[in-house]
Amino acid sequence: MNRFQVGVRAREQKQREKVGKSTCLSVDIRRNLTENIVFLIHKAFVDRTYSSYPCYDTGLESIALRSELFHVVVPYDARSTRDETADSAPKSKKLKRSAKEFDEVTLKVKDKHTEFLNLHKNVEKASDFSNKIALEFVDEFNRSVHYDVDKVFNGANDSQFIVKTSMNNEDYIIPPNCRFFNSDVRNLSDFLTTEDKFDFIVLDPPWWNKYIRRTKAANEKSGYRMMDNDSLKSIALENHVHHRTVVAIWCTNAPSHVDAIEKQLCPKWNLRLVGTWYWTKITKQGEPVCTFNEKTKKQPYERLFIAVSSNSAVKDIATEKYIFSVPCAIHSNKPPLLELFTDYLPERPKCLELFARNVYPNFTSIGTEVLKLQNTRLFQLLSSKHEVQ
Ligand SMILES: C[S@@+](CC[C@H](N)C(=O)[O-])C[C@H]1O[C@@H](n2cnc3c(N)ncnc32)[C@H](O)[C@@H]1O
């Protein structure tokens, strides 16, 4: 395996400690609107991470995610935003439709969204009426980025500094105290030993799905490879779970995927499901990014299954939670979750993310695109001379 060295040696680190400064942003990342409704700000979490540590030898003073990525101001398909139960529909038809078309889960999430809108008062005022800024930015990134998913490499940043590094003519930002493996997760035992146990594990599997297949056929760079349920089952996750581990598994709404988690993956991984959380993607004004739909159609929400080991000592994890956030316009990019789990984890948790496209402090991240979203093109970099890079 190719060792991709980004570590900063201890001696150099000591010298730098004198000059390395950080100004931690004090911003709202999570607002608990009720016990189980939470508003999460993806960009604020990432920006706070990068404002919490000094940079090593980068000449950078501040690092923040590009705001273009979150310029989601209208539903993606603005023509289909009319709610099926909107007031313009005749009343009898309205009731008939909502009872017929929405399954129980969708109705529940939809009701929570209405509650969210009533509670979440400080929505941003519309300054634009299209998502063009975000879509064009992401299109350009997908078109021009070079990332070799077949290149097997690994690396680590053992220091407390943010490091900038290059690979194949692309620059990457590496946060402190992390390690990463650009590799197939089915080879987990090649990089982790059974001694490697984690407090928090996040998985976002590339579930088999027609949309990704179509996207990948249309544009090789914006889709990704998928995995069937048997291959997912072959991952030896059970070796890395201890009696207080909390596991969060992203899942589509497809019944076959939900079924696979409940009946195949959790039993194989020695996990017990304790909660189902829902992430609803909203525009800056709070609307869902697409309408709530009948069962087989696209929904503005995704599921997050919460599991613990079968003999777990962890208690009091919310069985249901409704997360609302403005999504990053990069396809399938999820909001960082750590902020939602701090109550259940030790102060400096040891974390693992499988199928990762980012790296975060205190995480071991594994995936075939593990550094893809650490590319400096996705960040606003301000140099110490206050030049925007
Ligand atoms: C759903 S995406 C993950 C998205 C990520 N959580 C985010 O927020 O951006 C799944 C990722 O797994 C990668 N992948 C597909 N097959 C894989 C495999 N066998 N081993 C590791 N990663 C794989 C895909 O290339 C893709 O980057």
Asked if 272 and 243 touch (Cβ cutoff 8 Å), the reply is no
> What's the pLDDT tens digit per position in 64-84?
999 999 999 999 976 544 444
Tokens at residue 183, please? 């590799």
Name the residue among 135, 152, 151, 154 with its Cα closest to residue 359.
154
Calculated CA dihedral for residues 243, 245, 248, 254, nearest 10 degrees: -20
Does the structure show a pLDDT above 80 at 191?
yes
Average pLDDT over residues 299-312: 96
Tell me the CA end-to-end span of the chain in Å, nearest whole number.
Answer: 32
Query: Residue ranges of the alpha helices (H) in the chain?
Result: 10-17, 42-51, 91-101, 104-119, 132-144, 188-191, 210-218, 229-233, 255-259, 266-268, 338-341
Q: Which of 59-63, 142-146, 154-158 shows the lowest per-residue confidence on average (mean pLDDT)?
A: 59-63
Does the structure show a pLDDT above 60 at 164?
yes
pLDDT tier, 313 (very low <50, low <70, confident <90, very high otherwise): confident
**Judging by DSSP bridges, how do beta strands 60-65 and 379-383 pair with one another?**
antiparallel
Average pLDDT over residues 273-297: 95
Average pLDDT over residues 75-101: 52
Asked if 341 and 351 touch (Cβ cutoff 8 Å), the reply is no
What are the beta bridge partners of residue 363? 351
Q: Average pLDDT, whole number, for the chain?
A: 87
Percent of the chain topping pLDDT 90: 72
Percent of the chain topping pLDDT 70: 81
pLDDT at residue 9 in the model: 46
Length of the chain: 389
Does the structure show a pLDDT above 80 at 107?
yes
Task: Please give the model's pTM, rounded to 2 decimal places.
Answer: 0.89
Buried b (16+ CB within 10 A) or exposed e, 102-116: beebbeebbebbeeb
Q: What is the DSSP letter of 248?
A: E
Tokens at residue 115, please? 């509650």
Q: How far is the CA of 199 from the centre of ligand 1 (A)?
A: 21
Within 6 Å (CB) of ligand 1, which residues are found?
149, 184-186, 204, 206, 224-225, 227, 332-334, 355, 357, 367-369, 373
Does the structure show a pLDDT above 50 at 86?
no
Q: How far is the CA of 149 from the centre of ligand 1 (A)?
A: 10
Average pLDDT over residues 351-368: 98
By most ligand atoms within 8 Å of CB, the mutation choice from 149, 152, 213, 368 for ligand 1 is: 368
Which residues neighbour 228 within 8 Å (Cβ) at sequence distance 6 or greater?
208
Side chain identity at 300, as an amino acid letter? Answer: P
pLDDT tier, 342 (very low <50, low <70, confident <90, very high otherwise): very high
Q: How far is the CA of 203 from the centre of ligand 1 (A)?
A: 9
